[in-house]
Structure 1
Amino acid sequence: MKQISLGRALHPKDLNSIVTDERKGHLPEKIIQFGEGNFLRGFIDWMVHEMNKQGVFNGKVVAIQPTPHGKVVPKLNAQDGLYTLTLRGVVNGEKVDKHEIISSISRGINPYSDWQKVLKVAESKEIEFVFSNTTEAGLTYLEESYDGETSPLSFPGKLAAFLKHRYEVMGEVEGSGLTIIPCELVESNGDVLKSLVLRYAAEWGFSKKCVEWIEGQNRFCNTLVDRIVTGYPRDNADEFREKLGYEDVLMTVGEPYHLFAIEAGENIAARLPFTQAGLNVKWGDVTPHRNMKVRLLNGPHTMMFAVCYLAGTDTVLEAMTDTDLREFVEKGLYQEILPFVQMEEGEKREFADSVVERFLNPFTKHYLHDIGMNAVYKFKSRLIPSLLDFVKDRNELPAAITYSLAALIFYYKPFRVEGDFLIGKRGETEYVIRDNQAVLSLFKTKWDQLLEEEVELKEFISSILKNSNLWGMDLRKLPRLEDEVSFHLGQMLTVGMKQSNKQLLQKIKK
């Protein structure tokens, strides 16, 4: 098969029939985007591409390199802003494996070598929106100065300087303000970004009128994003190259499912017609969607990781193809978590069903060990609210969530210490227990006391459950939780995880 590069040399006639090529030339640049990584290209830029295909937006994206050592912009420009997005997964029980060339990016800019080009974008009357994804670390304060000639290092600093230049050139004319939509996974991300921009504006001595313009004429939106984008398929790049018939160094792979919640009104929704293009975008209060995602997606992830990993599976997919483990996961999801999510019944049920399909995605390797990083905090934020709601409503303990708490404690059982980490052991396989030092130190001390028979099992469990620094409360206050967790952990230590799982499922079915 002829190997060609994606870019100027690529024409539709060269494409394999499984790839669609929807280029829209000569569209104005309406969006400046801070970040050019896999997630934005597989999420926001794909959405813009979908709107352009249907003729409801008709605008392009200028992608700004977020860090000094980025390598995407030169590749992006070499390919005329084009790249292949592959969406692979299961939708309504049907396997999806779709490839498409995305044409929504007009160009990339390296601000560290071409800051004046970025400022030139700020002068454009066509620019209406700012999107970003600079990771959670990007929405933090970095003490730095600004001279007007070179790019600030931080993303909020860049945005502050960008807005200052726009104000100085355009003033307060109608349309000078921008709609700013961050996609970083930080709660109240729009509010956080706004506070950081205003902090830089104050420290860098922006005029009072400029600050008032930033606050009054620019809209910072809180958001929630949800799509797994795994990026360039390094493990099977040759397979994709053969399948597509061309080389694309910026190809990125993601799942079909997507959810984008934006805290904004109808006026912005009309200018960004995502829903008109058939995309799963929710406008309005983000909080219900955030709570639904945390409880119905992140909650089951945390609930299953230790149970399924210690039972011998390594990925979410492996766990879901095991009959007993899948029954455990679905019991917790549908019977213990779903009923207490504050969302319209049909919408939350549809989301829960989509979670199961995502867990069954045959193309995604989501390692349980990775989900187990900082698992104590994740249990506190993702599962304890469901645990408390269940107890309050039913006056009994949720079996799967309670069992998962015992499994988490078992997962934190140290086999040995290596540097700053604890090393656990599953059969003959060792694994790294990753958490902050305070949590690791506490679990090591408590497990040492139990293994050296300084305390009984129930006393060991009591000392862990009472620690409000771990769980945000004294969990012993929940009736019978101490007894149930002690019983489950005793079974795990005595008969092993697989047999303990079977006993739990037999109990649940009675």
Structure 2
Amino acid sequence: MTGLILQFGTSRFLQAHVDLFLHEAREAGQDVPSVVIVQTSGSAERAGRLAAFSDPAGFPVVLRGLENGLATERRVAVKSVSRGLSTARDWAEIVDLFAHEADFVVSNTGDSGYAVTPGEASTGLFADTPLVSFPGKLLQLLHARWQRGGRPLTVLPCELVNRNGPALRAIVRDLAATASAPQDFLRYLDQEVVFANTLVDRIVSEPLQPAGAVAEPYALWAIERAPGLSLPCTHPSIVLTDDLEPYERLKLHILNLGHSVLADIWQRDGRPEHETVRAILAEPAVNARLDAIYRDEVLPGFSARGMEDAARAYVATTMDRFRNPYLDHRIADIAGNHALKVERRIAAFLDWAGTPAPVLSSIVSRQKATA
């Protein structure tokens, strides 16, 4: 396969998820394009990580956990990434790669990655210097690609945003309209660029330096079928589905909701700074609180939506993942952007389920009161 995968975001999650899948597919004999990782933040702290992506020896990903009740540990040298670039330093080269060589775009730009700086598109679409936001940069790059021939492209966003592909497409389309983009370019966006709707699921607990990560064995990349969609590889953890919503609801409103409940307890009770998910759940009172929320508030909501059996099974899997004795998943990391996560994970569940949930409602109310 010719071309490249341009990955926007240097996160340890992508290193232990998409980058690992691509490496394993290549090792299995598939013709998988190389990944060029693009740092969008301009953070000087990650310069060492960018340099490490150019190491032909790859970067380590360590998978530790329980599989079928048995302890497992596997270390992989991931070699799917060829190098790292920065939008702050290498913009002209990124524009050229995007316009001529990219066949796929992967992104994971954080919980606020789709936020747009007011008025940024008014400066125009020409890509001499990058716009501030990730959607703004993506618009500029798509415009440059269209100007230089504009062959089809598949965008595979991995942000934990409901219907992430359609959401990103709508933001880019609105920015294009604000910038008075040509109608031919808008048609290109609509007809030749696929913004896939995806869901990612893997707990990545800690970084390795300068690049790499420690993660659990469980992983899922669910991707909704769409006209014109193509994928860079096949992999046992990649699932193509006609309807992503069941996967989305289970992950967002059970695993991620549980994380945010624990973060709320951790913050309110003033618990130890470096406490992990496993450690907080080792305390019987905390474990009982989370169990009660799942039993009395979450499962009734899924039952009302005809998903009780799937939700019960996913709750059991989630609790096993939370208690993984090999992962030190710090609650301080989970608690980042807590208010936004509560809105997306808990408030959105209450709106969707429509069933009584007094404890979850109180968490949402407290966040609104402190906003």
Alignment of 1:162-173 (within 5 A): 162-171=141-150
Is structure 2 residue 212 aligned with structure 1 residue 251? yes
CA contact (8 A) 1:304 1:404 kept: no
Alignment of 1:273-422 (within 5 A): 273-274=233-234, 277-303=235-261, 310=269, 314-323=275-284, 325-334=286-295, 337-338=298-299, 340-341=301-302, 342=305, 347-362=310-325, 363-367=327-331, 371=335, 373-374=338-339, 377=343, 381=347, 384=350, 388-389=354-355
Change in Cα spacing, 1:87 to 1:210, as seen in structure 2 (3 Å) is same
The aligned residue for residue 197 of structure 2 is: 222
Whole-angstrom distance in 2 between the partners of 1:164 and 1:386: 37
Larger relative contact order (CA 8 Å, sep ≥ 6):
2
Change in Cα spacing, 1:74 to 1:335, as seen in structure 2 (3 Å) is same
Residue 49 of structure 1 deviates from its aligned partner by 1.3
The farther-off stretch of 206-215 and 330-339 is 330-339
CA contact (8 A) 1:90 1:361 kept: yes
Whole-angstrom distance in 2 between the partners of 1:160 and 1:194: 10
Whole-angstrom distance in 2 between the partners of 1:113 and 1:369: 28
Residue 109 of structure 1 deviates from its aligned partner by 2.0
The aligned residue for residue 130 of structure 1 is: 105
The aligned residue for residue 180 of structure 1 is: 155
CA contact (8 A) 1:81 1:107 kept: no
For residues 166-187 of structure 1, the C-alpha deviation after alignment (integer angstroms, 9 at most, x for no partner) is: 222225xxxx111111112222
SS in 1 for 2:188: helix
Q: Give the letter aligned to residue 130 of structure 1.
A: V
> What 5-or-longer segments of structure 2 have no aligned partner?
none
Residue 99 (structure 1) aligned to one of 70, 75, 100: 75
Identical counterparts, % of pairs: 26
Is structure 2 residue 61 aligned with structure 1 residue 85? yes
CA contact (8 A) 2:201 2:219 kept: yes
Residue 335 of structure 1 deviates from its aligned partner by 6.3
Residue 156 of structure 1 deviates from its aligned partner by 1.5
CA contact (8 A) 1:224 1:289 kept: yes
Q: Give the letter aligned to residue 73 of structure 1.
A: L
Whole-angstrom distance in 1 between the partners of 2:262 and 2:87: 43
CA contact (8 A) 2:205 2:330 kept: no
Whole-angstrom distance in 1 between the partners of 2:105 and 2:216: 25
TM-score by length of 2: 0.80
Q: Which is greater in Rg?
A: 1
Whole-angstrom distance in 1 between the partners of 2:270 and 2:286: 9
Residue 26 (structure 2) aligned to one of 28, 43, 52: 52
CA contact (8 A) 1:317 1:365 kept: yes
SS in 2 for 1:140: coil
CA contact (8 A) 1:85 1:251 kept: yes
Whole-angstrom distance in 1 between the partners of 2:321 and 2:109: 25
> What 5-or-longer segments of structure 1 have no aligned partner?
1-26, 234-247, 392-400, 413-434, 442-510
Is structure 2 residue 83 aligned with structure 1 residue 120? no
Residue 44 of structure 1 deviates from its aligned partner by 1.4
CA contact (8 A) 1:34 1:63 kept: yes
Residue 212 of structure 1 deviates from its aligned partner by 1.0
Change in Cα spacing, 1:218 to 1:324, as seen in structure 2 (3 Å) is same
Residue 45 of structure 1 deviates from its aligned partner by 0.9
Q: Give the letter aligned to residue 365 of structure 1.
A: H
TM-score by length of 1: 0.60
Residue 369 of structure 1 deviates from its aligned partner by 10
